[in-house]
Amino acid sequence: MNFDDTPQEAAFRAEARDWISANAPHQYKDELAKASLGRVQLKGANILEVGKAWQKKKADAGWACLHWPKDYGGRGATPIERVIWQQEEGVFGKLSGLFIIGHGMCGPTMMAYASEDQKREYLPPLASGEKVWCQLFSEPAGGSDVAGLRTRAERDGDDWIINGQKIWTSGAHYSDHGILITRTDPTVPKHKGLTMFFLDMKSPGVEIKPIKQANGQAEFNEVYFTNVRIPDAQRLGAVGDGWNVSLTTLMNERMSIGANVATGFPELFAFCANLTLGDGPALDDRAVRSKLANWAVRASGLKYTSFRAISALSRGERPGPENSIGKLVAGSMIQDVATYALDLQGAAGVVSSPEQAELGGKFQAMLLRSPATRVEGGTDEILRNIIAERVLGLPGDIRVDKDVPFNKIPTKGR
Amino acid sequence: MNFDFSDDQKQLRDQARRFLAEHSSPKAVRAVLDGAKPYDRDLWKGLAGMGFLGVAIPEEFGGAGAGHLELCVIAEEMGRALAPVPFSSSIYLAAEAIMLAGSDEQKKKYLPGLADGTTIGTLALFEGPGNPSPRAIKAAVTNGALSGTKLPVSDGDIADIAIVAARTAQSGRETDIALFIVDLKGKGVSRKTLTNIDPSRNQAEITFDNCPAEPLGPAAEGWSLLTRVLDRAAVLVAFEQVGGADRTLEMGRDYALDRIAFGRQIGSFQAVKHLLADMYVSVTLARSNAYYGAWALSTNASELSEAAAAARISATQAFQHCSKNNIQVHGGMGFTWEFDCHLYYRRSNALALALGSLSYWEDQLIDRLRTRNAA
Ligand SMILES: Cc1cc2nc3c(=O)[nH]c(=O)nc-3n(C[C@H](O)[C@H](O)[C@H](O)COP(=O)(O)OP(=O)(O)OC[C@H]3O[C@@H](n4cnc5c(N)ncnc54)[C@H](O)[C@@H]3O)c2cc1C
């Protein structure tokens, strides 16, 4: 049991460190360090442009999508090298928010199901950040119940014609491509009638409407499809096998979302270290200490759980459903941490204007963004189901719609 | 980086699990719980015979000299099996204290007996309610003689020797506290068994009346030695707690698959599934923190005290959380004497208080984080 780099890993780390110190956009370092969940903004610069430029620079030097094969724009790195890179990249990793879905979910799905020619065509520009991808899964009728989706795909010669609506699609408004799950047969039970595609988001008939979010920002969108044509060659997996294809995506989603979720703990601890409560330092207060200790062990527990997972990966084991715990634990933790950080500020906790609020309003931004963490990429409840069923082997939920043809399933609760 | 036990260590775990499954069955635990005997002598001898007691004690002092990672692996299995023996007192506390602070002569004198189980040791620290603190120690040594009362002392009835924390001066500083080795079979020692929430482990009150006390380690360093002993023990006890928590999760899962209500397995009800999923989460976090503690313990890292406190808090929470919800999953059955759920519930709550309660470890953790953050 050790944390030490092997000589090879140490050499890799030194190389990464040198390259980062010579090439990273250091002018943004302080601002990035201060940014937190729900707010990564750069004064006088467009975060999307800065993010794309950093990604391109990394790709040109062989530091993009490290674990992908070289032929597809990656570096063929080991899981540990990937972690070493993340450790060295530090706050500059916050510039990659734009690519999380493309790199974490769309890329792996393309790798598993696209043709060799397609992989060589589409993956390198995805890795290098020249193209941005989105994931078109959720619908008004199918969120947790992904297989309840209604967007139709009908065969027309060598093409498919798509009609319907997606929702909560992050980044659709600046994406070049997307992976899309559709219903191709409404007369069979819901999991059996699905088919997956990828498409050009600039295709005629695709209409994107940004949705204003509860925290005031607009990361996600409604996407409407009216007679959109997709060539059959852009189908991923067999007709009717879309459910299995989507499981590949969702598993990767949990890995990539779950691996490095913010907990808010380091920010809270630093805040308390400088805070005076009553007539003494907050860190001398028994109640504060107890709360902090409780969160400290959750944060360290997550950290070392991910180290254990990486150790297993580097022994050649596959990432399993147990990776669901990262987001499950961190999601409610960051919400509670933010609530507590505001509580410690008393009435002033309500103020979020960056000039007056403590730490530039970081905790207020966290508070307002955190509900999304508990929903996106699988709700707390769905993640618990996954742990219970796939890790502990408990029975699946009773599914009243399982053997019913999709077009016979009721559509309204009341 | 390799954040896991080695194949050899995992083999040792399997070996310990098999041995304990056979020799520390719930029936054996109950024999102690019911008061028939203060601990399971045969199991103790068996553990000695397997070399488990001395696994981290150097060969030159009669141990196997394997190391602390190996001891962690065995600790987890001891916790899983609720082994009704003075392992934690004798090995994590007494032997560790002597290894840490003892002279060569003291190591030669005491460690072989602790390693082969012929000597049982313990730590006599507490004097009634309260957490470890120099001020709470009233027992005093004057002119080489110890007087005072310690309560509770884990395995205090069973032990042959005790490491005693006692006062040598009244300056009010930590340096007033020193450690001593005391022969519990000697003159002036009287012991009283205390009924306690986990009768599968012995707790006693020990009164010392002018007993000969042999200094252990430099006199002025008693308190700092003691906190180091507690840190080391905290990692090991955390593994016991993780073992117990993991076992209760397993028990709950198995029952949820077996029991039918409303025409279905209760494990198909989402409320029950989510209860068990949350148990899995707390065991997983605790295990990961314990591994960090194991790494720090085995390498004597400067992070040890922080890692130990994190492991201790996380494992205490996990074992308490899992053992109480295991009863919930079992329904009325879970509250019968006959079912084993209460054995784990008792042990989880007893272990939560051993070595100082959560508030002590919370303080330790925050102090360490504060120091690190300020650095
Ligand atoms: C910020 C953000 C970004 C997102 N980005 C994307 C994206 O890029 N692409 C995309 O496809 N989707 C995206 N989503 C959608 C997200 O995946 C869904 O919102 C999520 O899966 C929940 O689905 P829903 O919103 O339909 O809620 P519902 O499924 O309607 O859930 C409502 C409530 O019912 C509970 N519930 C539902 N089913 C069960 C069950 N079986 N057992 C117990 N409880 C249940 C849920 O836990 C929840 O509490 C995003 C969401 C957010 C908030």
Measure the CA–CA gap between A182 and A159, rounded to whole angstroms.
Answer: 14
pLDDT band at A254 (very low <50, low <70, confident <90, very high): low
- Across the range A258-287, mean pLDDT stands at 89
Sign for the CA dihedral angle at A87, A93, A96, A101 comes to positive
pLDDT band at A37 (very low <50, low <70, confident <90, very high): low
Model pTM score = 0.95
Among A29-38, A306-315, B81-90, B325-334, which stretch is predicted with the lowest mean pLDDT?
A29-38
- Tally of CB atoms within 10 A around B9: 18
pLDDT at residue A40 above 90? Answer: no
Q: What is the Å distance from ligand 1's center to A375 Cα? A: 5
Pocket test for ligand 1, best of A375, A380, A399, A412 (most atoms within 8 A of CB): A375
First and final CA of chain B: distance in angstroms?
Answer: 25
- Across the range A61-70, mean pLDDT stands at 95
Residue bearing the CA closest to ligand 1, atom 44: A381
Please give the pLDDT value at position B33: 95
Residue bearing the CA closest to ligand 1, atom 6: A169
- Across the range B160-177, mean pLDDT stands at 96
Task: Decide if B89 contacts B155 (C-beta within 8 A).
Answer: yes
Q: Does residue A133 line the site of ligand 1, with CB under 6 A? A: no
- Across the range B254-278, mean pLDDT stands at 98
Fill in the amino acid letter for A280.
G
Sign for the CA dihedral angle at A250, A255, A260, A265 comes to positive
**What is the per-residue pLDDT across A273-328, written as a single tens digit (0 to 9) for each?**
999 998 899 999 999 999 999 999 999 999 999 889 888 888 888 777 777 899 99
pLDDT at residue B86 above 70? Answer: yes
Task: Decide if B327 contacts B345 (C-beta within 8 A).
Answer: yes
Please give the pLDDT value at position A257: 47
Looking at the CA of residue A101, tell me the nearest atom of ligand 1. 8
Nearest beta carbon to residue A311 from set B2, B276, B278: B2
Contacts of B285 in chain A (CB under 8 A): 297-298, 301-302, 305, 325, 329
pLDDT at residue A258 above 50? Answer: no
Please give the pLDDT value at position A256: 57
Please give the pLDDT value at position A225: 98
User: pLDDT averaged over chain B?
Assistant: 97
pLDDT at residue B84 above 90? Answer: yes
Task: Decide if B300 contacts B67 (C-beta within 8 A).
Answer: no
Measure the CA–CA gap between B328 and B56, rounded to whole angstroms.
Answer: 38
Angle at B339 between CA B337 and CA B343, to 5 degrees: 75
pLDDT at residue A340 above 90? Answer: yes
Nearest beta carbon to residue A304 from set B6, B288, B362: B288
Contacts of B288 in chain A (CB under 8 A): 300-305, 307-308
Query: Given an 8 Å threshold on Cβ–Cβ distance, is A394 in contact with B267?
Result: yes
Tokens of A337: 């941490």
Please give the pLDDT value at position A35: 78
Which 3 state secondary structure label does DSSP give A209?
strand
Fill in the amino acid letter for B274.
H
Please give the pLDDT value at position A79: 82
Q: Does residue A101 line the site of ligand 1, with CB under 6 A? A: yes
pLDDT at residue A46 above 80? Answer: yes
Please give the pLDDT value at position A259: 57
Residue A67 vs residue B205, higher pLDDT: B205
| Burial class, A88, CB count within 10 angstroms (exposed 0-12 / middle 13-18 / buried 19+) | buried
Measure the CA–CA gap between B182 and A238, rounded to whole angstroms.
Answer: 77
Residue bearing the CA closest to ligand 1, atom 32: A144
The phi, psi pair for B252, rounded to 5°, reads -65, -45
- Across the range A70-97, mean pLDDT stands at 92
Please give the pLDDT value at position A253: 65
Looking at the CA of residue A146, tell me the nearest atom of ligand 1. 21
Q: Which residue has the tokens 């790199």?
A: A103
pLDDT at residue B351 above 70? Answer: yes
**What is the per-residue pLDDT across A194-248, written as a single tens digit (0 to 9) for each?**
999 999 999 999 999 999 999 888 889 999 999 999 999 999 999 999 999 998 8
Burial B104-126 (b: 16+ CB within 10 A, else e): eebbebbbbbbbbbebbbbbbbb
Which 3 state secondary structure label does DSSP give B285?
helix
Q: Which residue has the tokens 């993640």?
A: A383
Residue bearing the CA closest to ligand 1, atom 5: A170
Residue bearing the CA closest to ligand 1, atom 30: A143
- Tally of CB atoms within 10 A around A210: 14
Among A1-10, A280-289, B197-206, B282-291, which stretch is predicted with the lowest mean pLDDT?
A1-10
Angle at B163 between CA B158 and CA B169, to 5 degrees: 140
Measure the CA–CA gap between B97 and B91, rounded to whole angstroms.
Answer: 9
Measure the CA–CA gap between B313 and B293, rounded to whole angstroms.
Answer: 12
Measure the CA–CA gap between A199 and A228, rounded to whole angstroms.
Answer: 10
Query: Given an 8 Å threshold on Cβ–Cβ distance, is B277 in contact with A385?
Result: yes
The shortest C-alpha distance from A311 to chain B (Å) reads 5
The phi, psi pair for A297, rounded to 5°, reads -75, -25
B242 touches chain A (CB under 8 A): no
Strands A159-170 and A152-156: antiparallel
Task: Decide if A320 contacts A391 (C-beta within 8 A).
Answer: yes
A390: DSSP letter: I
